[in-house]
Structure 1
Amino acid sequence: MISWLLFLSVSLTAHATERATVILLRGTASTGAGQALNLKDLVEPGTTITTGPKSFVKLLFPDQTQMNIGPASTLRLEATRPGEVSLVSLVAGQIRAKVAKDPFSSRGPSKEKLVVKTRSAAMGIRGTDFNVSYNPANRLTALITFEGHVAMANLGPNEHALRVLENDRRLQHVGPGQFSGTLADAATPSVPVRISPVQLEALRENDSFRGLGERGAAAPVAFASPIPPGVDPRAFTGGEKSGELPAPLVNLGSAPPPPAEGFFDEKSKTYAPRAGGYVDLGSGRYVPPPAGSAFDPNTSTFVPPKAMGEVDPGTGMYVPPKGVQLDPVKGFVPEPAAPIPSANGTRAPSSIAPASVNAAAALNQAASREQAG
């Protein structure tokens, strides 16, 4: 049903043909015509907005819908006629939107008030809180829903977003706390799964994209341990140690069986990643907990080992393991080592540590093994 669709093009309400107002601005932002945006500026339909690095823009629409445009992002407010669903095209980067509910809408209960589209996905929204990111390098669209439900569908090069959203067989309905993303050679986006509760709550609070694109040290996070009292943590998590990925668990003891959210159907190309993973907002990639990760019955999610990276609790941003970075196209790759002084006083790049190469290979192997089932 169209009402639950969330195009990677965002469509606003029936008021979308009206102008939006810039109510918050951090850093720099400009229109497609090269004009700088300022506080209290009115943004007309048909306008393209581009933000600079570490920048952020919040728009307010007449129906009280709020849309936050993240750093290094490009968004186009598509011009629509009165009575039509509003449409927003996310060209690159990410947005966070809180769409106001309209109980008196003439569109009826099964019609969306906002459609968001990217080059690879379309989503329909009826009043909800969500985050969408799109990376042009890998054409991945990632959706996280905080409140309400969003319908998401893959979008081909010559397809119309609204028509795609009318086809229930192509939709995934993404609920609160869940992630879904586009996949190559798949008829639908990934089956929605819960993300790490730690990342979910941190991202929920960080609606202004603090820390996006900046690698910081993640502080320890208070989290309910899934390990029963008196049980050796190493035995419970498959014998994991720092820098190693855990082996598959044979028995979780008294813990309930893992949810049936992780699977890959070769015939239908339907994929559900293991629940509890991290979403890298910059690349649009989902980092699933590997086989053998401990299962937390309190949240119905798996707990990724530290070897998979962690989350900055102040921003919600995914932080890869030391010595590794997440490339949008290549996946995990060794992080270039810092330059070192040479004999003549100039600085030459140092070689990449073998440990970083091994860590990147192990992470990619774990991720590919997860998708292969």
Structure 2
Amino acid sequence: MADLKLTNVGKTYGGSVEVLKDINLEIKTGELIVFVGPSGCGKSTLLRMIAGLEKITAGALTIDDEPMNDVPPAQRGIAMVFQSYALYPHMTVRDNMAFALQIAKKSKEEINAAVENAAKVLQLTDYLDRLPKALSGGQRQRVAIGRAIVRDPKVYLFDEPLSNLDAALRVATRIEIAQLKEAMPNSTMIYVTHDQVEAMTLASRIVVLANKGIAQVGTPLQLYEMPQNEFVAQFIGSPAMNLLPGEIKLTGDVTEVELDDGSGWIQSNVSTLDSDRGRRINVGIRPEDMHMTVEPDYAFSGTVEIKEALGEVTQIYFKRARPGADQVIAKLPGIHNDVRGKNLHMTANPSKVHLFADGQSLLYR
């Protein structure tokens, strides 16, 4: 149980290659924070800096107000679950989970109690006398998590723990991690993933990393419904948010935008100023918020090039208006077998329409 704080934290390799800069973040006891971002954005590097496996080259890390920059990893009160299981193949599940406590010279009674308790929480009681080779991938990952639990650390760190599992096991183990967090409500956890489904379903708050820093921090719904910039808007959500270029024609509490490429008009509940009239912007509409219309006013009109029938929804991809233009995608509920090759008019509710100028949301001005 711990509060963790990063203040102006940065990481530079070789004195010149800057990977992270000015990371400011406060994590409270009981939170499950998820770091997400594209490959190479520094997610795992930041996690390893917290663990003490990478040196912090700028700024400060504190845990419960205690400076940690120069504290060895073993003394930080942190347990880390790695992407690979890293289990000892010649040891049973029980011995794998007990090993760290044996090194710490805990009594046999303490070790047995801690292992039995962790095994019960992780549903591993029936497997304690098995070797890792006799377990499934999901069970091995649970053993790796159990090895962290028995240490009763201040902070748990998870470095993409599900990426080695197949799709079905990934879903099952994700649910188990969510249940584990509910069973340990006061535990502080930091979780790294590239999978936004994991982030959206597990996180108390999500930290989106990009361009060497933090693009936005918020609850999953805050990032989905109120992205601060185009990067977050397109990173959170699948398929990515559509960005349609246009020009503001009417300002006020309801903004009207004329879209390019001979498309149409769209209204947004994002308020704008008189000085915004004539401003070039990007209109953001999530594929799931687009719907067909027969009204003369529509946001986008295009010919369906590809459809993906997924059962509960149908994803339709429109032909690009010009070479190099972004693909426009709509996600329609139900089955639509007869749309390919047709020209459809699409629009969206004004409450679901985002406005971005110079990459930033006008909602946050």
Q: Could you say whether these structures have the same fold, taking a TM-score greater than 0.5 normalized by the shorter chain as the test?
A: no
Looking at both structures, which has the greater relative contact order when contacts are Cα pairs under 8 Å and sequence separation is at least 6?
2
Q: Name the one with the larger helix percent.
A: 2
Larger Rg: 2
Provide TM-score, normalisation by structure 2: 0.30
